[in-house]
Amino acid sequence: MEVPVIDLAAYLSAGEGEVGSEVSELCREVSGILRETGALLVKDPRCTVEDNDRFLDMMEKYFESPFHFKRLQERPNLHYQVGVTPEGVEIPRSLVDEEMQEKFRAMPKESQPSIPIGPDPKWRYMWRVGPRPSNTRFQELNSEPVIPDGFPEWKETMDSWGHKMISAIEVVAEMAAIGFGLPKDAFTSLMKQGPHLLAPTGCDLRRYGKEGTVFAGYHYDLNFLTIHGRSRFPGLNIWLRNGKKVEVKVPVGCLLIQTGKQIEWLTAGDCLAGMHEVIVTSRTIDAIKQASEHNRSLWRVSSTLFAHIASDAVLKPLGHFAESPLSRKYPPICAGEFVEQELAVINLKGNKGES
C-alpha cells in the first residue's frame, strides 16, 4: 500500500474565506487518512527540496563531528530537551512497556516489529522552534537553545526549516479539524507557544549499517503531530490501524506527517498515535552502497519535527469527541505534565532522579 499524498496548494490558495466543497472534501480526506493510517504524505509549495537538502547537509556535517565535540552540546539536566542526545540514551518504549510487548507478540509474524536489544544507537539534536511562553510551569520544556561552535549557519538553517515544517503542520491541523467536524482552529489554538522541537536524528551507517539493526525501536510519538522531510536513506516502517506493517516510501519533494499521542487524546482515540520503527532494510543497504560509490555521507539523518500542544494547555477530548464512550480513557491532563510522564518512561528524565 502507498501512503496517499495530499497537495496542500488547494487549501493554501483558498485563503481565509469560507471553505468550498472541494476543499471540504480534501479536509475530510486528510482526517480520514490520519484516522486509518496514522500517517500522511503532503506536498507543500513552501517547503522545497533545496530547503531539505540544505538542512541535511548541515546535520550530516554535525553528526560526522568527533564524539567529544558533540558531547559539549549535551544537556541531561534539562531531560535532553535541548541540545544533543547521544546514542545509547533513548530507550524504545517497546523495550519497557509490557502491554506493548504483549500486543506485538500477538501480531502475525509478517506484521511484528523488529525487537530492539537495548537503547537506540542513534543521536538526536533538539532545537526549539517558535516563540516560548514568558510564564510557564514547565521551564525545562521551554529552555534556551544550544548552538554548536563552528556552525555560523546553524540558527538560520534550523529556524528556517523548522518554521517551514511547522507551517505545513498547522495547515494539516486546520484541515484535520475541519474534516473531524471541529472548528478550524480547534488544534492550532492549542499549539500556540507550544514546545515545538526540530529533532533530527543521526545514525552512523558505517558502524551500524548491518541489515536488521534497529535505530528507533517500535514506538509512538508523545506529541501532537510529527513531520519529517525526506531522508537520504530509507528504513521507516509504520503500522496501520488494522495492524498491517508498511514500509514508507517518501517521494522527492514530499513531507511525511505522523499522528502522536496528543492528537489521540484530543480526539478520544478516534485518531490513534501511529506506531513506527526505523531499521536497516535491504533498501537501506542499497542506498549505503550507492552513497559509498559517490563518496557521500553515511550518516542517516531524519529531519524530524515534533509539533506539540502548549505545555500549560489542557489535553482533553474536544467538541463532539467529549461525548465518545472512550473519552473516559482520556481524562484532562496538563500537556506539560503528560510530556514529563512520557519522557520518564523512555529514560530522558533519568538524570534528575526520576525513574
Residue percentage of the chain with pLDDT more than 70: 94
**pLDDT-based confidence at 69, cuts 50/70/90?**
very high
Flag whether pLDDT at 1 surpasses 80.
no
Q: Judging by beta carbons within 10 Å of its beta carbon (0-12, 13-18, 19+), is residue 4 exposed, middle or buried?
A: middle
- Compare 313 and 80 and report the one with higher pLDDT: 313
How far is it, in rounded angstroms, from Cα 339 to Cα 237? Answer: 24
Helix H or strand E segment including 14: helix 9-14
3-class SS of residue 83: strand
**pLDDT-based confidence at 351, cuts 50/70/90?**
very low
pLDDT per residue over 183-198, tens digit each? 999 999 999 999 899 9
Q: Interior CA angle at 348 toward 93 and 139, to 5°?
A: 130
How far is it, in rounded angstroms, from Cα 109 to Cα 97? Answer: 20
Task: Write down the pLDDT at residue 342.
Answer: 84
Mean pLDDT of 276-287: 94
Q: Interior CA angle at 335 toward 144 and 319, to 5°?
A: 135
How far is it, in rounded angstroms, from Cα 110 to Cα 122? Answer: 25
Q: What share of the chain is helix, strand, coil (3-state, %, to 5)?
A: 40, 20, 45
What is the number of other CB atoms lying within 10 angstroms of the CB of residue 350? Answer: 16
Mean pLDDT of 16-44: 90
pLDDT per residue over 126-175, tens digit each? 999 887 777 777 765 556 789 999 999 999 999 999 999 999 999 999 99
pLDDT per residue over 316-325, tens digit each? 999 999 999 9
Mean pLDDT of 55-79: 94
Task: Write down the pLDDT at residue 355.
Answer: 26
Task: Write down the pLDDT at residue 354.
Answer: 29
What does the DSSP 8-state code read for residue 270? S
Flag whether pLDDT at 221 surpasses 70.
yes
Domains of the chain: 5-346 (2.60.120.330)
How far is it, in rounded angstroms, from Cα 102 to Cα 80? Answer: 29
Flag whether pLDDT at 41 surpasses 50.
yes
Residue percentage of the chain with pLDDT more than 90: 68
Contact 232, 56 (CB under 8 A): yes
CA-closest candidate to residue 245, choices 71, 108, 44, 137 = 108
Please tell me the least confidently modeled range out of 173-182, 200-209, 234-243, 256-265. Answer: 234-243
**pLDDT-based confidence at 349, cuts 50/70/90?**
very low
